[in-house]
Amino acid sequence: MTRPTQPRLLALLGDPVAHSLSPAMQNAAFQATGLPYVYIAARVERERFGEAVAALRLLEARGANVTAPHKERAAALADRLAPEAERAGSVNTLVFEGGRILGYNTDGAAFCRAVAEVARVDVKGRRVLLLGAGGAARSVAMALAERGVERIHIVNRTPARALDLAARVEALTGVPAAAEEWPDEQGRWQPLLAAHDLVIQATSAGAACPWDALPWDVLPEGALLADLAYAPGGTPFVRAAHRAGRKGLPGEWMLLYQGAEAFRLWTGVEAPLEAMRAALAGAGLFSGAGPSAPSPEPPLF
């Protein structure tokens, strides 16, 4: 790919996006490699997503990242989908190439890489409890199924979305998948947690959930709790995992790895992971080396 001689635009499209650390991470990567790109975050309302993509193309942007609530709309808008994006029905990375919109999804592979390389957990044979059924959850569910998990159980506040995702996982991968409405009573959580050894927080309302009230003690030995979200000091989900004596994987690792793959798709250059991680650390992430069994004073991620 020919490198541009003038700065070329990339954007994160979502609602909200003010909290995102993707601009800091990606612009640090461009500075480290000397590539002439600039990355911004743009708040785009659900009904105006198509207009935003059209505007970026008019400005000869190279592409975009896509976050909630637009990932499924991005899949429908793309002229061509990469296999992982087509299977998930969800896109988090757009590349504008030769007059076409190419859609990719780097979420699932990034999550599995974080589980393998940071948590050092083999997902094969794991029994997965997936909390949420949005765009990122769809990608993660498909990636896990393709890597040999035993089964996936999806709970979501909109049961129809959970049922749709479970049916998609089974149809495309053959991995058994079940779905149900979000449990509102603690007693309904106990059998769910007892039957799964990989619990993934993928809801948009994760910060507001009373995670400490759940019966984490019934989880199987060696269970991993992972969050797709990130926050300086750790998300409430990961902090609750550590307070309960469980191993927790924070979402900044997925952020880093999905961003690195998006960087490669846009530029054709391998991402400078250390520069990207340093930028995120400067914003308060990676306050620990990675997930670990908690001490009486749990580390914050």
Known catalytic residues are: 71
State the Cα–Cα distance between residues 276 and 255, nearest whole angstrom: 10
Nearest one of 92, 67, 89, 76 to 165, comparing CA atoms: 89
d(CA 163, CA 216): 25
Whether residue 177 contacts residue 149, with contact meaning beta carbons closer than 8 Å, is answered with no
**Tokens encoding 117:** 């390389």
In three-state secondary structure terms, 130 is strand
**What secondary structure, in 3-state letters, does 182-225 show?**
CCCCHHHHHHHHHCCCEEEECCCCHHHCCHHHCCHHHCCCCCEE
Q: What is the DSSP letter of 93?
A: E
Contacts 24+ apart (CB under 8 A), 77-82: 77/49, 77/50, 77/53, 77/101, 77/103, 78/102, 78/103
Neighbour-count burial of 201, counting CB atoms closer than 10 A to its CB (0-12 exposed, 13-18 middle, 19+ buried) = buried
Distance CA 18, CA 167 (A): 34
Q: At how many degrees (to 10) do helices 159-173 and 135-146 cross? A: 30
| Cα–Cα distance list, 174 to 99, 151, 165 (Å) | 36, 10, 13
Q: In whole angstroms, give the CA distance from residue 206 to residue 200.
A: 11
